[in-house]
Structure 1
């Protein structure tokens, strides 16, 4: 006769700990819930939290053992049983058979995996790198990641979040009725990371973190590393399992092996929501790609596409740094848009906003009940202009969050570079602050040393991990070395926006031609400092909003004169040293100020005169790509020479562009006449005698100009005579229409 084995008693847990677990506020629920072998090695205790269950049974996968649990308190069930009889069968390999009372008096039995039987999904190396601020693929360990078994079957989704000062963190979502007590996360020691794998949760699930802050208050927060979100104004994060396969291998290989700083770069700046309102990422992949291809730009630059709650911020107040906005589709559909642009030979730049973030209580602000992502000192942690928080650039985990974010957009979405917004606000402790509102740095100066160090780190890291991409600074001050290498003492950007050129030239154009002689230096001053940085010449969205009017509206003259001046200005801009950026609508001379609510005034582009501007930009892009003189020596003084930069009375500029050594191609002569009269018989010095061909005339009837040279029967091929003039060994004589630009080059025939 066999003596029955006595049922072992469960391991005890003190009442306070059990209450904290039952209420979902324990910092280490896995220490209580799940399977726990006894010290004697003969038995195992199982605890499960199922608040609304009437019965819970553990069913072990390996040996089929069934262990009935009894209700202990407040939804916690407990029981103990022998260790598995078969060697190699883990005690933690089990399922929960849960019985719930049914509405009609019949019990409902469900079988669930148990979140608290799973090991942590972050390893020691991950936690070490997070602690040091050096985890360059942070999005692969924090946030929400769908987990599958060896055969591809769904296990669930692991959630991980950094909240070092929280007392407790739990996951809430549509998979648990937004009731967090059943999915409390465990704290992974001093790392400040909280983690939990929730079985059965898959792609598309909505979730948030419910954080018991250091201040004692519960707060539901979106995931700082969410890779997908609800469509605003909804604020939940969503679980993403991407299955997109890029087809741009050839583009990516060329990017890795090509220096983008010495290639053509003409950028079309786009606000996705108002380019043609209502289009999705997929529709933009057709219509935007077709348009930019026809227009001839080498790159698009998107205003920030990271998720943001207020559409009127245009994306510059980010709440979801790792999530493309859901307004236009899914993250995979955004990848499709990038892929389609690459297939058309068009690079993709994205505006990136590491300077500040909004104070929305459900996002990054006071995330664990303390200043976490923002600097704790209000003089450094709050931005007076924008009513936002400023990142704590001296905190390693915050720097890691931002550096990894830059790598994420470039690596995961194949974008070809980032234009970093509001760099000037990061560089100075006294930016937009009066005396008494800022504290000097350790050296007594006004530079923000931590932010400067961060910018050097992010640029160095991006260029090391992703060679061939572009990091571009929007920086409006005279800070030295923005685009100089870090090892030479610079910030390490590849390019910097030339805001001074933009403001000076637009101010010049606002003057009546008869008055421009008194403002000639505004037109020429940019060449005094043209090689102090690697510049992009921007005519950006900032110049056509907030009462500033349109580019066309800034120019003096009647409507036809404005359009003629704009064509001439663009040709001068494309010939000026530096790369070009033009905000959408500018390519056809949008007559009204841009509004993200209305979208672009495409009807204006159907008018012949406006279409002439559009055709001019198209021709400029085609000539620009084809002529190395216009781009190959942008950042070298050898690529530019004044022929006549001092003709203030004639409102005329004449200069040469030369290709870099080894590039081939001919020099190009730019003549821009922004006076109100035709310059008849203008003598211009050139480097060689012989025939010179007019390759561009912005007054041509091809661009719906007046065609004054055509009407006068003037030839497209002119002969330059030998003779010193304007420092050149030869000269030619040319008629230059009012408000026009001519490009000429030595005749190749």
Structure 2
């Protein structure tokens, strides 16, 4: 379009309605090589329009059509403002969004198109900027199938016609800088689809959203100053596989109802420190519309849920945990997303984030959509999101939800409901490639973090390095151990002898992956009852079984995870709609269980044999002889310095006196933990703190009923 010609009526009409793909080619400043040109602006219902130029001069505009005005200029106008008057005598002066150059560079656009922008959150979304002396917000969004995109929000009375975005070409990115707005402004993107429908969408890259059920995105900036340098330096010094890792899983909304991120910081730090856990794992904190999903149906992948405060409030909570030497793991859900119309589903009117083939793009069981892992921009969205939580919130690990559903094309599908991969197999090769990329990238950028897979099948190499064809996770949840051991412990002790395999089978594969042993929220919902409720016997026996089970769990190879409330034996099933039954700590027997878990964590952290070589089969030995009892499980754990701890569990309901067992070394063994001690509510059966062996290492300790002993070798 030459400067001497006025845009045709069709273009002017689409500019007037905010439905033109390149409004900056018409609006704003347009000059030729001699400095002659025009200014154009959209000011519907105006009676007069004038511009004040940088040199103080003014120019008058002439109305063209549909609220589009034009003024002739000579020379570059520099920074200018536009004053609009109306028939009622009112006037308004503002900067012009269409005088500004793009706020996103060519390199960023290239990386986005290639799917290689590791800091995507810095260029897409809404960001406060100062351009040419004017403060405002730069909006950018990826919507490649859109015919036009507008920004609507508080700043324009939720009428986006005044703020149409420009297409940045083949990248599929749209951009607009809007002056004189900032943090706190609510907004959405309004997208014209191929079918000529306008749809409103929240920003996929929003870093803050309204409190649900409201769904607008909110402009935000951070001024938080971190104070966890010491923690981060220590974290990067050694892999977590070689460190103690005892995880307390928390649903923040029901841990202590009514507490926000900042309010929860002090009581949570105090409680977790008292209990001795090394890490807190938060169930998903990314924005989600339905609280009953517990955060597992995410609509705002880059926005901490506003239910508990703003992003800097979450930073404060994590910082406080780090200052107390407590690590932070967060649940992350890249396996599926909900169909809510305001969010990612058919974002620009077409399948975009979801796979277009419903055989690969929909979880019918969950009523959710599956990401298109083979599309480079979608894979980039997810990889960058993982890095975002590490970079911007200093989390120490991500527990990746529902990995099995990502790995298999036939997951929860009947014959004919899925399509095989290019080789005829059932593996989702694109999802596997994505998982390898996100793990390799996260570990490269943030040494010492943990990527943890909730993977419920025997898929090979989940924690093998990507360089060896593995998925590259640091840890895998041991769902087999969880299912078998819970089934075993729920049996009456009279019948456990017939099911010893449920207890011992995990030793067969304990070192095939780097495992976490999880007793998570999934085990105390949907009619399963509480962990306490699964235990057989009367009240005392239930608590004794719980102590024995948890001690066995802490002694077993692998890290540990325990869902909140189980540490004091909550009797009722967990519900996100109410808080934990903290009143139970007023009951002495449950307070004693609470104390036992704290002691268990203390012994665990103090005894490096229980964690230093967690994933090394050479550091583990099952113990037996000269007799064998199917109700007894005994094994030894060793570190690299010769320290040894023996774990002996008696899951029968009777004490076993003078039980003959061959210990790894002769001499004196100290009873560093006895789950049947009276201080924890037990019957007090034990060995007076020490166990002696003969010259051949043979010992005859007393094993308490429904009890576990931890014995440490005393080399002297």
* Residue number in structure 2 paired with 1:112: 94
Where in structure 1 are there 5+ consecutive unaligned residues?
Answer: 1-7, 84-89, 724-729
Q: Measure how far apart 1:55 and its partner are.
A: 1.6
Contact 1:10 1:80 in 2 (8 A): no
* Residue number in structure 2 paired with 1:31: 25
The alpha-carbon distance between structure 1 residues 214 and 292, as it changes in their structure 2 partners (threshold 3 A), is same
* Residue number in structure 2 paired with 1:731: 698
Q: Provide the rounded CA distance (Å) in 1 between the counterparts of 2:713 and 2:387.
A: 45
* Residue number in structure 2 paired with 1:436: 416
Q: Provide the rounded CA distance (Å) in 1 between the counterparts of 2:103 and 2:658.
A: 78
Q: Measure how far apart 1:716 and its partner are.
A: 1.1
Q: Provide the rounded CA distance (Å) in 2 between the counterparts of 1:366 and 1:646.
A: 67
Are 2:624 and 1:644 aligned?
yes
* Residue number in structure 2 paired with 1:73: 65
TM-score by length of 1: 0.94
The alpha-carbon distance between structure 1 residues 372 and 615, as it changes in their structure 2 partners (threshold 3 A), is same
Q: Provide the rounded CA distance (Å) in 2 between the counterparts of 1:290 and 1:101.
A: 64
Q: Provide the rounded CA distance (Å) in 2 between the counterparts of 1:432 and 1:571.
A: 35
Contact 1:612 1:705 in 2 (8 A): no
* Residue number in structure 2 paired with 1:137: 119
Contact 1:650 1:673 in 2 (8 A): no
* Residue number in structure 1 paired with 2:490: 510
Are 2:675 and 1:698 aligned?
yes
Aligned pairs (5 A) from 1:342-491:
342-491=322-471
Contact 1:589 1:613 in 2 (8 A): yes
Are 2:653 and 1:676 aligned?
yes
* Residue number in structure 1 paired with 2:691: 718
Q: Provide the rounded CA distance (Å) in 2 between the counterparts of 1:322 and 1:171.
A: 19
* Residue number in structure 2 paired with 1:280: 260
Q: Measure how far apart 1:543 and its partner are.
A: 0.4
Q: Which of 666, 670, 687 is equivalent to 2:664?
A: 687
Q: Measure how far apart 1:614 and its partner are.
A: 1.1
* Residue number in structure 1 paired with 2:109: 127
Q: Measure how far apart 1:216 and its partner are.
A: 1.5
Q: Provide the rounded CA distance (Å) in 1 between the counterparts of 2:93 and 2:715.
A: 81
The alpha-carbon distance between structure 1 residues 9 and 164, as it changes in their structure 2 partners (threshold 3 A), is closer
Q: Provide the rounded CA distance (Å) in 1 between the counterparts of 2:571 and 2:577.
A: 16
Are 2:33 and 1:51 aligned?
no
Contact 1:211 1:218 in 2 (8 A): yes
Contact 1:25 1:167 in 2 (8 A): yes
Q: Measure how far apart 1:748 and its partner are.
A: 6.0
Q: Provide the rounded CA distance (Å) in 1 between the counterparts of 2:43 and 2:276.
A: 62
Q: Provide the rounded CA distance (Å) in 1 between the counterparts of 2:449 and 2:33.
A: 60
* Residue number in structure 2 paired with 1:5: none
Q: Provide the rounded CA distance (Å) in 1 between the counterparts of 2:607 and 2:375.
A: 47
SS at match of 1:595: coil
Q: Measure how far apart 1:689 and its partner are.
A: 1.9
Q: Which of 77, 80, 87 is equivalent to 1:91?
A: 77
* Residue number in structure 2 paired with 1:100: 86
* Residue number in structure 2 paired with 1:82: 74
Q: Measure how far apart 1:11 and its partner are.
A: 4.3
Q: Provide the rounded CA distance (Å) in 2 between the counterparts of 1:182 and 1:365.
A: 26
Contact 1:172 1:210 in 2 (8 A): yes
Q: Provide the rounded CA distance (Å) in 1 between the counterparts of 2:265 and 2:683.
A: 37
Aligned pairs (5 A) from 1:570-719:
570-644=550-624, 649-659=629-639, 661=640, 664=641, 666-709=643-686, 714-719=687-692
Aligned pairs (5 A) from 1:208-287:
208-287=188-267
* Residue number in structure 2 paired with 1:334: 314
The alpha-carbon distance between structure 1 residues 697 and 396, as it changes in their structure 2 partners (threshold 3 A), is same
Are 2:309 and 1:316 aligned?
no
> Pairwise CA RMSD of aligned residues?
1.5
* Residue number in structure 1 paired with 2:714: 747
Q: Provide the rounded CA distance (Å) in 1 between the counterparts of 2:302 and 2:622.
A: 47
SS at match of 1:644: coil
Q: Measure how far apart 1:717 and its partner are.
A: 2.0
Contact 1:264 1:298 in 2 (8 A): yes
Q: Measure how far apart 1:598 and its partner are.
A: 1.4
The superposition leaves residues 581-624 of structure 1 with CA deviations (integer Å, 9 ceiling, x where unpaired) of 00101111111100000121111122111112111110111111
Q: Provide the rounded CA distance (Å) in 2 between the counterparts of 1:125 and 1:414.
A: 27
* Residue number in structure 2 paired with 1:528: 508
Q: Which of 15, 19, 34 is equivalent to 2:13?
A: 19
SS at match of 2:236: helix
Contact 1:365 1:389 in 2 (8 A): yes
The alpha-carbon distance between structure 1 residues 455 and 42, as it changes in their structure 2 partners (threshold 3 A), is closer
The superposition leaves residues 330-364 of structure 1 with CA deviations (integer Å, 9 ceiling, x where unpaired) of 00000000000000000000000000000001100
Q: Measure how far apart 1:256 and its partner are.
A: 2.3
Larger displacement relative to structure 2 (645-654 or 139-148): 645-654
Q: Provide the rounded CA distance (Å) in 1 between the counterparts of 2:624 and 2:702.
A: 16
* Residue number in structure 2 paired with 1:164: 144
The alpha-carbon distance between structure 1 residues 647 and 382, as it changes in their structure 2 partners (threshold 3 A), is farther
Q: Provide the rounded CA distance (Å) in 2 between the counterparts of 1:328 and 1:57.
A: 46
Q: Provide the rounded CA distance (Å) in 1 between the counterparts of 2:493 and 2:531.
A: 17
Q: Measure how far apart 1:650 and its partner are.
A: 4.9
The alpha-carbon distance between structure 1 residues 231 and 396, as it changes in their structure 2 partners (threshold 3 A), is same
Q: Measure how far apart 1:118 and its partner are.
A: 0.5
Number of residue pairs aligned between Structure 1 and Structure 2: 715
Q: Measure how far apart 1:746 and its partner are.
A: 1.8
SS at match of 1:367: coil
Q: Measure how far apart 1:744 and its partner are.
A: 0.9
Q: Provide the rounded CA distance (Å) in 2 between the counterparts of 1:474 and 1:650.
A: 31
Larger displacement relative to structure 2 (563-572 or 680-689): 680-689
The superposition leaves residues 664-714 of structure 1 with CA deviations (integer Å, 9 ceiling, x where unpaired) of 3620111111101011111221122222111101111211222233xxxx4
Segments ≥4 residues shifted beyond 3 Å: 8-11, 645-650
Contact 2:100 2:131 in 1 (8 A): no
The superposition leaves residues 176-234 of structure 1 with CA deviations (integer Å, 9 ceiling, x where unpaired) of 00000000000000000000000011001000000011222111100000000000000
The alpha-carbon distance between structure 1 residues 505 and 154, as it changes in their structure 2 partners (threshold 3 A), is farther
Contact 2:626 2:661 in 1 (8 A): no
Q: Provide the rounded CA distance (Å) in 2 between the counterparts of 1:708 and 1:258.
A: 40
Contact 2:524 2:574 in 1 (8 A): yes
Q: Measure how far apart 1:134 and its partner are.
A: 0.2
SS at match of 2:181: coil
